[in-house]
Amino acid sequence: MQQVNLGMIGGGTVGSGVFHALSQNGDLMAARLGVKLAFRKIAVKAFDEPRPYPIARALMTTDWQEVVNDPQIHVVIELVGGTGIAKTMVLAALAQGKTVVTANKALISACGPELFVAAAKSGANLYYEASVCGGIPIIKSLREGFVANQFPAMYGIVNGTCNYILTRMKLEGADFAAVLADAQKQGYAETPPDLDIDGIDAQHKTGILASLAHGFWVDHHQIHTEGIREVSKIDMQFVEKLGYTIKLLGIVKKVESGKQKAEIQASVYPALIPSTHVLANVNQVFNAVFVRGDVVGDTLFYGRGAGKDATASAVLSDVADAALDLKNGTKSRVQPFVAHAKNGRVVPLDEIVSQYYVRFTVVDKPGVLAKIAAIFGAAKIGISSVIQPEGHEGESVPLILMIHDAPNAVMRKALAKIAKLPFVKAKPVMFRVEPLN
């Protein structure tokens, strides 16, 4: 049987998971693929670092160049992370004509075009299934399984840490800071965790999904991003009463502009979704991506978005594709970001129309609601419902409004005006509503 030799750089959480999974299921993979997969070298930073699974010492080196420059190694797996030395490693491997497999969403997100050009130049493939949603095969599905589709909408719960925090806040009434500390202890959160809770990790993943789905490079800086720091227990309770659940969503939607080029919304923010929708029941550290294809209809991908084993599964799926490429003598795959929509545009959020949940903290006195309604009315913003829990006249009370479709810029300006009214006692809290219909 033909053998494909693997070199890996990084033997930490994911790297040791890959080594372990191949030791466990390597024979099964060989039987399925008709190719034997064998590790030849694994580079780490220091031999004696603790690892979730042990790695055979005889395979280890502390010089990553030994992996990249070994002519016997056909496929290089990069599991170091970040955009620094990892970029040098990936480019060096591609320059040698080696297929590269990476889980590095930060790197793909920051340098995707450069890396894919380098891969094309050297005739090598660059695989990155594990960079989005860990073990869920979403990249392969978008790239190959749904090749016959356009994608009117995609909604992803793509950050396990945020989903874990929001789930425990909702189900247990737990406190944000306490749950975050727990997420860090469980190893879900990035270091520092701001990357997760400020939505940056989700932004990277959403950019990768948007680029794949719409065929032009979506720079992550173009993605309007809000994290989950503003989500409080009180809003969790109100939205639940209204029949909604708050989830941090990566949103990629086609905007109907009548123009030739692809125009899309690409955003990350905590949104209210109907509690009856399947996405609302994706809990704890699980990820899910709801993909609407114009041909296939609605589909849902669910699974573990992080962790040594789930992520190893995705890495090895890429390794299997790479091995088949080598076995069959063809590296021809559906292109990663094909030129079918070179001139696509990410529409700025200000131009996007949304529905909204707003919570004001106002003094309970006559005329307050009328003044707020007047500002919304003047901006042609419609109120769909109002809740004010019974309070005492003259005291501060929460006032919750659900708002019909309105452009984000118009809504932002109206809220800024209302925030200046003397009876408004705190910064208004606003979340968008995604009906998912």
- Ramachandran bin of 102, using left for φ above 0, alpha for ψ from -120 to 50, beta for the remaining angles: beta
The residue among 2 and 88 lying less far from ligand NDP, judged by its C-beta, is: 88
CB-nearer residue toward ligand NDP: 9 or 397: 9
According to DSSP, the residues that pair with 288 across neighbouring strands are 157, 302
Give me the least distance between CB of 205 and ligand HSE, in Å please: 7
307 versus 428: smaller Cβ distance to ligand NDP: 307
- The interface mask with ligand HSE, positions 308-337, x = CB under 6 A, is ------------------------------
Residues in contact with 124: Cβ distance below 8 Å, sequence separation at least 6, in sequence order: 93, 94, 97, 98, 99, 100, 331
Which three-class secondary structure state does DSSP give residue 11?
A: coil
Of 166, 124, 111, 87, the C-alpha closest to 321 is 124
- Output the smallest distance, CB 296 to ligand NDP, in A: 26
Q: Give the residue, chosen from 29, 68, 231, 306, that forms a contact with ligand HSE under the rule CB under 6 A.
A: 306
Residues that bind ligand NDP (CB under 6 A): 9-15, 43-46, 49, 64, 79-81, 85, 103-105, 130, 134, 306-307, 311
Residue 302 CB, nearest approach to ligand NDP (Å): 16
Cβ proximity to ligand NDP, 118 vs 436, nearer residue: 118
Active site residues: 205
In the list ligand HSE, ligand NDP, none, the entry touching 12 (Cβ below 5 to 8 angstroms by class) is ligand NDP
Site string for ligand HSE, 8-37 (x = CB under 6 A): ------------------------------
Q: What mask, x for binding ligand HSE by CB under 6 A, covers residues 139 to 178?
A: --------------------xxx-----------------
3-state secondary structure 234-259: HHHHHHHHCCEEEEEEEEEEECCCCC
In the complex with ligand NDP, the residue whose CB is nearer, 318 or 434, is: 318
Pick from ligand NDP, ligand HSE, none: which does 49 bind, CB < 5 to 8 A by kind?
Answer: ligand NDP
The closest alpha carbon to 254, from 344, 159, 329, 134, belongs to: 344
End-to-end distance of the chain based on CA atoms, in angstroms? 50
The only residue of 70, 175, 182, 190 in contact with ligand HSE, by rule CB under 6 A: 190
From 78, 129, 201, 434, residue interacting with ligand HSE (rule: CB under 6 A): 201
Q: Closest separation between CB of residue 78 and ligand HSE, Å?
A: 15
Nearest to 167 by CA among 71, 67, 266, 286: 286
Residue with smaller CB distance to ligand NDP, 129 or 263: 129
Q: Which residues of 286-309 are buried (b: 16+ CB within 10 A; e: fewer)?
A: bbbbbbbbeeeeeeebbbbbbbbb
Q: For residues 66 and 63, give the distance between their C-alpha atoms in angstroms, rounded to a whole number.
A: 6
Q: Is 133 left (phi over 0), alpha (psi -120 to 50) or beta?
A: left
Sign, CA torsion 343/349/351/353: positive
| ∠ Cα 308 309 315 (to 5°) | 90
Minimum Å gap between C-beta 83 and ligand HSE is 15
Using the contact rule CB under 6 A, the part of the chain among 182-190, 319-327, 338-346, 406-414 near ligand HSE is: 182-190
Shortest-Cβ-distance residue relative to ligand NDP: 12
> Residue 284 Cβ, how far from ligand HSE at the closest point, in Å?
11
Sequence-distant (≥ 6) Cβ neighbours of residue 316 within 8 angstroms: 18, 21, 22, 25, 29
